[in-house]
Amino acid sequence: MKTEFATLANGCFWCSEAIFTRLKGVKSVLPGYTGGLVEDPSYDEVCTGTTGHAEAAQVEFDPTVISFEKLLDVFWHTHDPTTLNRQGADVGTQYRSAIFYHNEKQREIAEKSKMELEKSGIYKDPIVTEIAPFKKFYIAEDYHKKYYEQHQNAPYCRFVIEPKIDKLVNQYVREIKSEFS
């Protein structure tokens, strides 16, 4: 089995990791930093907003089970791609919406996906998601890994992450029902 990688920034990487790990065909999800200029940044450095890095998830997936297109569908529907440098109460360039493509095929798929979403009218405001080439990914500190699973009762997990997971589950329940109606 040959896996591929998707690098996606859709706000807090705790949310991203919790969402993408639940998808069939996803082999691993690592929280980390990408898109900036500072080598091997720390969380504290990224939080200053001066490194240029975004909090992101590095998703390793089996394309025979889940496509890059399906990952993007989940990406689009589990955050607000119309808010610049913000997701909910998380504010700063490190929380921007971005797709860091690994090859030309991913770039084409991302551009097409963004264009189709714009045309759909789902969002009244323009989509501000950045689509940029992947350069380097820096894995976050260990205490960020599997954050939701280890802190499910924490207020941030209950009030920010759980609604995103619920939205994901509800979206796919609707899809399955429509397939069998």
By annotation, the residues acting in catalysis are 12
In 38-161, which residue ranges form alpha helices assigned H by DSSP? 43-47, 68-77, 104-120, 147-150, 155-156
CA distance 103 to 84: 25
134: its two tokens:
């992947």
Three-state secondary structure call for residue 52? coil
User: What angle do the packed helices 68-77 and 13-20 form, to 10 degrees?
Assistant: 130
At residue 80, φ and ψ (nearest 5 deg) are -100, 105
70 - beta bridge partners?
A: none
Q: Distances from the Cα of 145 to the Cαs of 3, 15, 18, 19, in angstroms?
A: 21, 11, 10, 13
Q: What Cα–Cα distance (Å) separates residue 123 from each residue in 21, 60, 70, 108?
A: 26, 29, 19, 21
